[in-house]
A and B are shown apart, each in its own frame.
Chain A
Amino acid sequence: MPKANSVKSTGHRVKPARKPKFQADLAPFEDSAVRSLKQQLQLTSNSDFFSEAVALFQWAVSERRQGHRIVSESANGEKKILVLPRLERVAPESALPHVRIDWTEKELGRLAELLSSEPAKPTDALVLAMKG
Chain B
Amino acid sequence: MNRLGKGILISVIVFLFAVSSWAVAFGQEIKIGVIGPMKFVQGQGHWNGAIMAAEEINAKGGIQVGDKKMKIKLIQADSNEFLSVTDATNAMERLITKDKVDFIVGGFRTEAVFAMQDIAMEHKKIFIGCGAAHNELCERVAKNYNTYKYWFRVTPYNSTFLVRAAFIHLGTVAAVMRQSLNIPKIKVAVVMEKALWADPMVPAAEGAIPKMGMEVAGVWRPSSVATDVTAELSAIQRSGAHILFTIFSSSVGIPFARQAGELKIPAVQVGINVEAQKDGFWQATQGMGNYVITSNTYARGLEANELTKPFVDGYVKRFGETPTYTAGTYDAIIMALAPTIEQAGTLNADKIVSILEERVYKTTTATIKYMKDAEGRHLHDITFGPGFATGIATQWQDGKLIGVWPNKWKVTPEAPEVTYKGVQPIKLPPWVIEAYKK
A binds B: no
- Chain B residues close to A by CB (< 8 Å): none
